[in-house]
Structure 1
Amino acid sequence: MSSSDTVLASLDSELGWIRETYTELHRHPELSLEEHRTSKTVEGKLAAFGYSVSRVGGAGVIGVLRNGDGPTVLARADMDALPVTEATGLPYASTVSGVMHACGHDLHVSALLGAAKLMADGRGAWSGTYIALFQPAEEIGAGSQAMVDDGLVTKVPRPDVALAQHVMPLPAGTVATTEGPVLSAGDSLKITVYGKGAHGSMPHMSVDPVVLAASIVLRLQSIVAREVKPGEFAVVTVGALHAGTTSNIIPDRATLLLNIRTYDNQVRASVLAAIERIVRGECSAAGASREPDFEYYGQFPLTSNDAAVTARVRTAFTAHFGPDAVHQAERQTASEDFSRIPEAFGVPYTFWLIGGADPEAYRAAAAGGTVAQDIPANHSPLFAPVMDPTLSFGVQTHVVAALSYLADR
């Protein structure tokens, strides 16, 4: 019997409380930086399992389990919910108005708690140190940095590797991994350009920021088409443009809100530089009254998996689940802030995806080419991973990945 089989032997008997934890977390979602109830639940369970527990970064919780000599593995789960009104109709639907676990973080917490319990109970099958890290505020890209800023790297043993997972609208009972970029870097940018206000009947007395903003929007579209090498990925979206209050007043300023996604940090830097260059150039050409303002916010780092770690974990997944359950992950244009944690320690990491969709429903939708329409995606008010086998599978992936480093050999 493998170490994974030994540690996971009692999983079925633990699923009752893991399911209860999941449904309670789903009923009581908490927004980013407000995960106080969730943190208390996590603290209580980790302490009961025998972990050394501490708070880092406000609502962040860390449990450390030392079990002799060997590597140190850090496993992370995010905890926050979204400002979404739930429409799933589940018996354990959110009881908090306008707030929902619409991205599966309640499942992430429950699965990692389940793995933490099994790792504690199965200490005879492995050696080393296991760190279970529960991170706040992933949805706003602030939680991992808050933990780092609060001295994370000095408060826990330095891991040799960091692991994380995310539930996605893929068939439950499957896992997908890939080397290199798996989630894009994300940047949001507020740009304010300044003109000169005037009466709508006297345009010659103005520097029209609406026309200026329109020119900027059109010119920005050339960045991906003409400045990013074919075959490389970038998205530049102008999601909002605000100017003026009424039809006969030319305003004195306009505000643009941009979102940028890239899979390469050099491409990211060049795209951001191109945006600023274009905006400054258009402002100069229009005779703007002052230099534009650039305000970056909602920034997410690139998630790029270490090739060796990913290969090792994939091999372990394949040995445990069989090759039919392990797939090559497609790169996602969504973003995450997990990578700031291993980067703060200077250690490699891998981030994988697990399925949460009903397998039969997914297969039917795939056969009809209607997956996008019929399988609710993350952040949808209908997003609801099937509890079984998703929870059990999520526990197993955490345990199998950790034991690929910690198992006695």
Structure 2
Amino acid sequence: MNRRFCMLVTLTLTALPALGQGAGHAESAAPDLAASAERQLPALTETYKHLHRNPELSHHEEKTSALLAAELRKLGYTVTERVGKYQDGSQAYGVVAVLQNGAGPRVLIRTDMDALPVEEKTGLDYASTVRSTNAQGQDVGVMHACGHDIHITVLLGVAREMAERKSQWHGTLMLIGQPSEETIDGARAMLADGLYERFGRPDFVLSEHDSNDVAAGSISIKGGPLLASSTGIYVTMRGVGGHGSRPEAGKDPIVLAAEFVLTAQTIVSRQIDPQQPAVLTVGTIHGGTKNNIIPDEVQLGISLRTYSPAVRDAIVADIRRTAKGLAESYGVPEDRMPVVTLGESTPETYNDPALAERLKVSAVVALGKDRVEDAKAVMGSEDVGLFTLDGKIPGVMYWLGAADIGKLAESRKTGVPLPSLHSALFAPVYAPAIETGVTAMTAMALDLLK
């Protein structure tokens, strides 16, 4: 990461409603920006492979955050580490890097840093072999199966471009290394630690996420909802335990839980407007200690995804009513009714429409029209939206292509999906993804700070 590059021709980007007269300058400078990103690629590749080989789980991003902080300091940023406080009072590994360059807007660009408890099976020569202990005390493999290593690498490339192009912009650039995205409590932890009070409130929030649904070398972007909200729901089905040979003497919470799992699937299909997307998944079920013992209770963990807060609240109410209704129909005593609690949550990721359209213009100028697609919304979730303070700050996340273009075409032809995010086989085509991410995000930042 020590290579120095000469200053390049000024890149002038223009905003809505049209490219206008300044577009000619932007178009002539765009190849220089892309060429600069290409020249960074060897050093960025080393960083990417190092990050991929050395992933760290949520709440444990100590070495990853230290690497990011050190590289940003070398580029002249004022860096603060250990920003963020979790609900239990523990300190997070958040990184904030600020580069001030006169009067002007303040732009926040965020990367996430954590990896997943997934044992890598890609067979790559730089594959992770790291093992760790998860929050449940289990020995697990650890892998950047969601591409956060791509995100960090792109951020470092953008940081260098912006530091070397200070004559082309004015304002303040605020780079965020966010911990614990996978447990959707990292952004909340940084805000709880006075992020904006300490470092200033941004005028814009930018981020990206790699995707195997977009070809490497391209991006996709759109206004409106991009990712769903996520709500963790925990249901404890309580019964009356006893001997497995005498079920009539107790109230079996395992049978009750099994019926609840099936009945809960009708909430979305039969109680929610089909024009309102929602996904309800029972991801965990735990109960019992021996095959001839009826336990006292069974715990279920549910993931709920929606775009609408009203739909989310309606489904939570439906879950409570369904659980209680089933328990009553089984004759469960009143003091043993189910307990429903809410856990981790994050709002939908909503792209400000005007900002998304403006940044799309910037991306088209920098990459070419054929490499900028219209994004598709998904039911996955992110916590980056918290940085917009419920939409009070315009924010945009775009999809950064990571798929092999030939394999993606074949997948669309056959209907056989490529390994997705969170898969042990997920292997992004990193070189064009990194170059494209650096080019696109730098162009967007320059546009907002011009």
Q: What is the TM-score with the length of structure 2 in the denominator? A: 0.85
* Cα distance, 1:206–1:352 mapped onto 2, change above 3 Å: same
Is the aligned partner of 1:338 residue 2:356? no
Q: Distance in 2 between matches of 1:215 and 1:387?
A: 45
Matched, 1:3 2:46: no
Structure 1 residue 243, shift from structure 2 partner: 3.2
Q: Distance in 1 between matches of 2:426 and 2:266?
A: 35
| Aligned counterpart, 1:17 | 43
Distance apart, 1:117 and its partner CA? 0.9
How many percent of aligned residue pairs carry the same amino acid?
41
Q: What letter is aligned with 2:297?
A: R
**Which segment drifts farther, 217-226 or 174-183?**
217-226
Q: Of the candidates 306, 310, 313, which is equivalent to residue 352 of structure 2?
A: 306
Residues 96-122 of structure 1 deviation map (CA, whole Å, 9 limit, x = unaligned): 131111111011001001101110110
Change over 3 Å in CA distance of 1:51–1:198 after alignment to 2: same
1:286 and 2:330 aligned: yes
Deviates more, 1:141-150 or 1:6-15: 6-15
Where structure 2 has 5 or more consecutive residues not aligned to the other structure, the ranges are 1-9, 14-28, 85-91, 132-140
- Residue 122 of structure 1 aligns with an amino acid whose one-letter code is R
Deviation at 1:267, TM superposition (A): 0.8
Q: CA deviation at 1:237?
A: 1.8
- For 2:356, what is the secondary structure of its paired residue? helix
Query: More displaced, 329-338 or 202-211?
Result: 202-211
1:74 pairs with 2:108: yes
State the one-letter code of the partner of 2:12: S
- In the alignment, the residues of structure 2 paired with residue 376 and residue 52 of structure 1 have an alpha-carbon distance, to the nearest angstrom, of 39
Comparing 90-99 with 167-176, which one deviates more in the overlay? 90-99
Q: Distance in 2 between matches of 1:119 and 1:60?
A: 21
Contact 2:366–2:439 (CA under 8 A) maintained in structure 1: no
1:128 to 2:174 alignment: no
Match in the other structure for 2:242: 198
Q: CA RMSD in A?
A: 1.9
Unaligned stretches of 5+ in structure 1?
none
Which residue matches 2:52? 26
- Shift of residue 187 of structure 1? 1.9
Is the deviation greater in 288-297 or in 62-71? 288-297
User: For 1:317, what is the secondary structure of its paired residue?
Assistant: helix
The answer (yes or no) to whether the contact 1:176–1:353 under 8 Å persists in 2 is yes
Map 1:258-277; keep pairs closer than 5 Å. 258-277=302-321
- Does the C-alpha gap of structure 1 residues 16 and 218 become closer, same or farther in structure 2, counting only changes over 3 Å? closer
Q: CA deviation at 1:406?
A: 0.8
Q: CA deviation at 1:250?
A: 2.5
> Does the C-alpha gap of structure 1 residues 403 and 340 become closer, same or farther in structure 2, counting only changes over 3 Å?
same
| Segment of structure 1 superposing worse, 389-398 or 85-94 | 85-94
Q: Is the deviation greater in 241-250 or in 299-308? A: 241-250
Counterpart amino acid of residue 29 in structure 1: P
Which sits farther off after the overlay, 283-292 or 221-230?
A: 283-292
Which one-letter code corresponds to 2:392 in the other structure? G
Give the alignment partner of residue 98 of structure 2, picking from 64, 78, 90: 64
1:3 deviation in Å? Answer: 3.0
**Alignment of structure 1 residues 172-251 onto 2, 5 Å:** 172-251=216-295
Distance 1:15 1:202, change over 3 A: closer
Shift of 1:12: 3.0
For the residue of structure 2 that corresponds to 1:155, the secondary structure is helix
Offset of residue 349 of structure 1: 0.5
2:71 corresponds to 1:45: yes
Superposed displacement of residue 288, structure 1: 2.3
Note the alpha carbon deviations across 1:40-71, whole angstroms, 9 max, x for none: 11111111111111121121101111111111
Which residue does 2:363 correspond to in 1? Answer: 317
Q: Report the Cα distance in structure 2 between the residues aligned to 1:140 and 1:276, rounded to whole angstroms.
A: 24
Partner of 1:348: 394
Moved over 4 A (4+): none
Instruction: Provide the aligned length of Structure 1 versus Structure 2.
Output: 404
The corresponding residue for 2:17 is: none
User: CA–CA distance in 1 between the matches of 2:147 and 2:53?
Assistant: 13
**Does 2:179 correspond to 1:145?**
no
Aligned CA distance change for structure 1 residues 17 and 369 (closer, same or farther; 3 Å): same
Matched residue type, 1:284: E
What CA distance in whole angstroms lies between the structure 2 residues aligned with 1:80 and 1:377?
17
Q: How many angstroms apart in 1 are the aligned matches of 2:58 and 2:194? A: 20
Instruction: Give 1:256 deviation, angstroms.
Output: 1.9
Secondary structure of the residue aligned to 1:10 is helix
My pick for the range that moved more, 274-283 or 158-167, is: 274-283
TM-superposition CA deviations, 1:241-262 (whole Å, max 9, x none): 3333344432222222212111
Distance in 2 between residues matched to 1:84 and 1:203, nearest whole Å:
39
Deviation at 1:234, TM superposition (A): 0.9
Q: Which residue of 2 aligns with 1:93?
A: 127
Using the alignment, how far apart are the partners of 1:80 and 1:279 within structure 2? 35
What residue in structure 2 maps to residue 394 of structure 1? 437
CA deviation string 1:348-378 (max 9, x = no partner): 20111011112222223333333x0xx2211
Relative distance call for 1:368 and 1:278 in structure 2 (3 A) is closer
Q: For residues 176-208 of structure 1, give each alpha carbon's deviation from its aligned partner in whole angstroms, at most 9, with x where no partner exists.
A: 112211111112222112111233333332122
Q: Give the Cα–Cα distance (whole angstroms) in 1 for the partners of residues 244 and 119 of structure 2.
A: 42
Match of 2:7 in 1: none
- Counterpart amino acid of residue 317 in structure 1: A
What per-residue deviation string (whole Å, max 9, x for no partner) do you get for residues 6-49 of structure 1?
78263333222211111111111111111111111111111111
